[in-house]
Amino acid sequence: MPFRFVHTADLHLDSPLRSLALRNAELAEIVRGASRRALVKIVDLCLAEKVDALLIAGDLYDGSQTSMNTALFLAQELRRLHDAGVRVFLIRGNHDAQSTVTKELTLPASAHVFKGKAKAVLAKTLASGRDVYLHGVSFENTHAPESLLPAFQAPVPGAVNIGMLHTSLAGASGHDPYAPCSVADLVAHGFDYWALGHIHQRQVYATAPFVVMAGMPQGRDVNEAGVKGVTLVTVDDDGRLGLADRPIAIASFERTLVDISDLSEWRDMLDAVRHALLRICADVASDNVIVRLTLTGATPLAWRLRRDTDLLRAEIENIASGIAGCWIEKVEITCRAPRAENAGLAVDPVEELAALVEADVLPAHGFRQEVRAAVDDLLQQLPPDLRQALAPDEDAVERLAYEIGASGGPEVLAHLHGGAGEDLS
């Protein structure tokens, strides 16, 4: 009989809402409960596939915000696996190390939590007589600036060896360095499969041996966009490995760009949005698709879109409500008015002003300094947690200041353009 297991990581159970754009109370509740429902679906998958084990490569919890209620929910789900004879192998990640309940919770006897130094644990003996061993190392502190690879033992000779590690590898955008190591180092260690966690996007880095980052099973905001899932792994009686991706996410965050170039009628713009939403919801395998929609292109509607953002948002949300499981997280506008190509044509004075702002005002050092000063002042008035979320470092503050400066001009100019009495139907 083969050895079959599900590899997951980074569930971040009961993580607080990260997006200020989730204004809809029903949508906010869906996202708030999605991490729990994702775990339920993972357990359901394990039971349906009759796997031997569930491997969780760190960050079950979401740091210091974890409550005993969260821990009890986890214990209940692991009990379902225990009752079905499915073993659980856990390593603690950086967020688990922050949790106050991590060491207090009593897990079922079938759940094995690896400590700070790896040891080989026999998981199964295949029909061929070949053994399958698991190795893992947990974070003992919230930071691990050095590689944890030296804590692993050598592979068990003649066996199938599977390693579990929470690591940022050589570094990834948006992730601090944790237990850094290279894919080449992992390959050279001699294990047959590396079950990794920490980076929230699934990726297979190598296939001989397999080095697999699980990715998270449930995104929390649009920066964790795309369909999320787990990896189902089969080790056959000869020790060969096969992988299958299984979608899990209750809610999938997606970005979609709608080019409305040359559309001059409001109704035509809404039809283009409707077609884009129908397409993305048909393509995404998730119960709920949460969309950040960006309207782009050169269109005579550019001024209206910016002036009547409340109406635009209401119209688009109304379209989404007619598509099962479709939600609008945010509507962004990057449209511009068409430029007059014939020099003999009269130039709209507001469009002329817009061109002047774009060419001379936005790049000006003095303007950038004023915007930066205003942003710094605003950040100082925010609660520390929100300030950290919006601008965690100097680069983020600069980007925020640039975005505010770049978007503020078109908003003001849209209202200067007038046309308040235009028919939008």
Per-residue pLDDT reduced to its tens digit, 14-47: 887 666 566 788 888 898 899 999 999 999 999 9
Sign of CA dihedral 196, 199, 205, 207: positive
282, 284, 286, 287 alpha-carbon torsion, rounded to 10°: -30
* Angstrom distance (rounded) from CA 298 to CA 129: 67
Max CA distance (Å), the chain: 86
Average pLDDT, integer, range 58-78? 80
Contacts of residue 247, Cβ cutoff 8 Å, sequence gap at least 6: 227, 228, 229, 285, 286
Domains and CATH numbers, the chain: 3-247 (3.60.21.10), 251-338 (no CATH), 348-425 (no CATH)
Enumerate the β-bridge partners of residue 87: 53
Do the beta carbons of residue 96 and residue 61 sit within 8 Å? Answer: yes
Which pLDDT does position 270 carry in this prediction?
A: 98
Task: Tell me which of 306 and 360 has the higher pLDDT.
Answer: 306
Neighbours of 409 (CB within 10 A): 16
Which pLDDT does position 359 carry in this prediction?
A: 64
* Angstrom distance (rounded) from CA 22 to CA 397: 23
In which residue are the tokens 């003649």 written? 158
Contacts of residue 200, Cβ cutoff 8 Å, sequence gap at least 6: 10, 215, 216, 219, 224
- Long-range (24+ apart) CB contacts under 8 A made by 72-80 are 72/105, 73/13, 73/36, 73/39, 74/13, 74/39, 74/105, 75/105, 75/106, 75/107, 75/108, 77/39, 77/40, 77/43, 78/107, 78/108, 78/111, 79/108, 80/43, 80/47
Average pLDDT, integer, range 150-161? 95
* 421: confidence class by pLDDT, cuts 50, 70, 90: very low
* Angstrom distance (rounded) from CA 372 to CA 375: 5
pLDDT at 415 over 60: no
- Residue 277 Cα to chain centre, angstroms: 20
Task: Tell me which of 286 and 98 has the higher pLDDT.
Answer: 286
* Angstrom distance (rounded) from CA 231 to CA 213: 9
pLDDT at 419 over 90: no
SS3 408: helix
Which pLDDT does position 343 carry in this prediction?
A: 47
Closest CA to 401 of 378, 372, 381: 372
Q: What is the pTM of this model?
A: 0.77
Least reliable range by pLDDT among 274-288, 292-306, 329-343, 386-400? 386-400
Amino acid at 421: G
Which pLDDT does position 25 carry in this prediction?
A: 84
Least reliable range by pLDDT among 4-18, 78-92, 304-318? 4-18
HEC string for 334-376: CCECCCCCCCCCCCCHHHHHHHHHHHHHCCCHHHHHHHHHHHH
343, 347, 351, 353 alpha-carbon torsion, rounded to 10°: 100
Which pLDDT does position 142 carry in this prediction?
A: 63
pLDDT tens by residue, 194-236: 999 999 899 999 999 999 999 999 998 888 888 899 999 999 9
pLDDT at 177 over 80: no
Closest CA to 60 of 119, 2, 5, 13: 13
Which pLDDT does position 318 carry in this prediction?
A: 97
Which pLDDT does position 420 carry in this prediction?
A: 41
Average pLDDT, integer, range 62-69? 68
Contacts of residue 106, Cβ cutoff 8 Å, sequence gap at least 6: 75
pLDDT at 288 over 50: yes
> What does the radius of gyration of the chain's CA atoms come to, in whole angstroms?
26
Which pLDDT does position 424 carry in this prediction?
A: 45
Query: pLDDT averaged over the chain?
Result: 84
Which pLDDT does position 41 carry in this prediction?
A: 97
Least reliable range by pLDDT among 80-89, 121-130, 134-143? 134-143
Closest CA to 333 of 305, 368, 366: 305
pLDDT at 305 over 70: yes
User: How far are the Cα atoms of 36, 42, 84, 107, 131 from residue 110, in angstroms, in the given order?
Assistant: 21, 17, 10, 8, 18
* Angstrom distance (rounded) from CA 297 to CA 158: 61
pLDDT at 269 over 90: yes
pLDDT at 174 over 60: no
* Angstrom distance (rounded) from CA 139 to CA 11: 16
Which pLDDT does position 319 carry in this prediction?
A: 98
Which pLDDT does position 383 carry in this prediction?
A: 74
